[in-house]
Amino acid sequence: MRIVDFLHPEDIVPRLSASTKSELLDELAGALAKSHAGVDRAELLRVLQERERLGSTGIGDGIAIPHGKMRRVDNILLAFGRSISGIDFNALDNRPVHLFFVLVAPEDAAGIHLKMLARISRLLKDSAVRTGLLDAPDAAAIFAIIREQDCSH
């Protein structure tokens, strides 16, 4: 199972306009709902907000992986967003977050959900990958970096 099996170039937002955690969740929920017919933006946003209330998904090093499970989702949905200026996401290291992966899984898919979270975490733990994603000029370049790293592991 690879990230690029579920992440599509149209689900990459290279310049997020959000400046707060709630705006970020709304913006990326909107991106997923727009490119995946049948995904309810409001329900997706509620799922992501509920998960954030349990504790921030900001894992440090400028990374956050907001995630959740939805009933009416048949497979994993992924979106990636980049904030050039950074967003206060209550991350573990208290630093702004620049790189966001949103992961939504079917309600009954605990195993695949956890495997994908681990795969995304592994990818983003590499500082060279993070730097490349921050410096990439556009969505196509971001996707190329993710594809190259994802397929080499």
Query: Are 153 and 118 in contact, with CB atoms under 8 Å apart?
Result: no
Return the residue matching tokens 């992501």: 48
Which one of the listed residues 36, 67, 98, 113 is annotated catalytic? 67
Q: Is 66 buried (19+), middle (13-18) or exposed (0-12) by CB count in 10 A?
A: buried
Residue listed under structure tokens 């975490």? 121
67 is catalytic: yes
For tokens 């956050």, name the residue: 64
Helix axes 127-135, 110-125, angle to 10 degrees: 80
Q: How crowded is residue 94: how many other Cβ atoms within 10 Å of its Cβ? A: 10
Active centre residues (catalytic): 67
